[in-house]
Every structure is written in structure tokens, then in C-alpha cells.
Amino acid sequence: MDETATLTVIGSGSSGNSYAIRAGGEILLLECGLKKSNILKGISYKTADVVGCFISHEHKDHCGYLKDIQKYGFPVFASENVARRIFEMYNIKIQGAKRNASKVLGGFSVVPLQVPHDGVECDGFLVSHRAFGKLIFLTDLEYCPYDLSGLGINIALIECNYKAEYLSDVAYRGHVLSGHMELDTCRRFIEKISNENLRNVVLIHLSNDNADAREFQNTLVNSCPNGCELSVAYSGLTIDIGGKNQC
């Protein structure tokens, strides 16, 4: 039986990141890099429905408001390595989850997958739920080191941070090159995971200075299979991600 499932972009980019996945009457948060007022609005103030929040890494635009959301009793998770780093840096305890193993939160299953981010411990997440199937979330990574082509991914939230020719010779150039996904790398990843059941691709964490949302969308739409919706993340974007291809 199909269930309603939606994805809400609360914020995406260097100013702060947070995403809410609603399915089966529950909410899973990914990242808490925005003020609690933004996050609460993004979940329609339904705090009792939140089964947990997963954090990709230690940078403040992804976990800067961790203490605030913990006050609402939300269970907060990261891979064991990231959880350790957050405690070392901010003296905040969160729950560690094993990489490459499933953590079940209500009807959600979340698998942390380590990704390369300029030497910083960082994870993407493979999220499964019977209402939408399989969702891959990848942010702040140079490239995806995994072959996910055989998983039948249904939803992809994938960083498309910059285009190489737009990147100026600035002090943080090295960090961008080794810690963020370039347009052509994103294109190859989408083509790799493309399958008849891929319904939604959402481009996230675009650079304010080195990206053009319309160009990126026009470039990548041809990499998606027929019937797949390609969106560029912006604050407040909510899309229906439910479907018949359930896991």
C-alpha cells in the first residue's frame, strides 16, 4: 500500500543546511545547520513526529544548531567517527551509528556512508522507507566512492556545488576542489544511478559564487531518465517523493 511521502528543503548552502523527510506520519531530519525557528517551521512544528536527525559532518552549516534541537528531545545521530569529532570540537554528545550498517528509526532505515570531504570525517546517507523506496543523500563530497548503480535508487539529493570554469583563484580553492562536487562529477553520478525507478533528483548545496542554478538544471536534466523530475534546492521547496516502487 502506498503512503504519502514528501521532502522539504529547509535550507541548502553555506548559510545553513537542513532537510525534512516525511513518511508514514514520521519525520526524519538530515542536518541541523539552521536556527531552530527555521527547522520548526520546516517541520510544521510537528516535533512529536520527529524520529531523529542525522548529521553528515562537523561543519557549523550542517550541525551549528545541534544543542537547540536536542532541547526538543530529538534523537541526534552521526557515524561513530563524526559523533566523536563533534564531541571533541563542541563538547556535545550525540549517538554514534556504524558506517555501512542500517540504523532503524521508526519506519526509516539509515545507512551512513563515508565520503571524501577535504580530510574531514563526513558521511552521506542511504535512507529507505516503504513509502518512497531508496533515497541517497550526498553533500560536501569531492566524489561518491561507491557504485550504487544496482540499488535501484528512487530519490537522489546530490550536491552540485560548482562548475570548474567558474572557480576563481581564491584562498579556499583547494578546499572546494577536494571537498565539494563539481558539475561534471555530479552528471556522471546521476548517469551511474539512473534507472527506470529514479523519480526525483534534487541538486543541493550550490555555491553562491561558483554555480548557476538554471544552467546546472538545464545541463543535468538530460542525464535523468524519462519521467524523473530534476529540481534545484531552495528554502521552502517541498516535493512529493512517494511512489509505487517501495523497498
Of all helices (H) and strands (E), which one includes residue 193?
A: helix 183-193
14 in helix, strand or coil? coil
Of all helices (H) and strands (E), which one includes residue 156?
A: strand 155-159
Question: At residue 147, what are phi and psi to the nearest 5 degrees?
Answer: -95, 105
For residue 2, the model assigns a pLDDT of 46
Ordered by start, the domain boundaries in the chain are 5-240
The percentage of residues in the chain with a pLDDT greater than 70, rounded to a whole number, is 96
The percentage of residues in the chain with a pLDDT greater than 90, rounded to a whole number, is 88
Whether the per-residue pLDDT at 244 is higher than 80: the answer is no
Mean pLDDT of 143-160: 97
Place of cell 519521467: 227
pLDDT in tens, 79-107: 999 999 999 999 999 999 999 999 999 99
The CATH number assigned to the domain with range 5-240 reads: 3.60.15.10
**CA–CA separation, 147 and 118 (whole Å):** 21
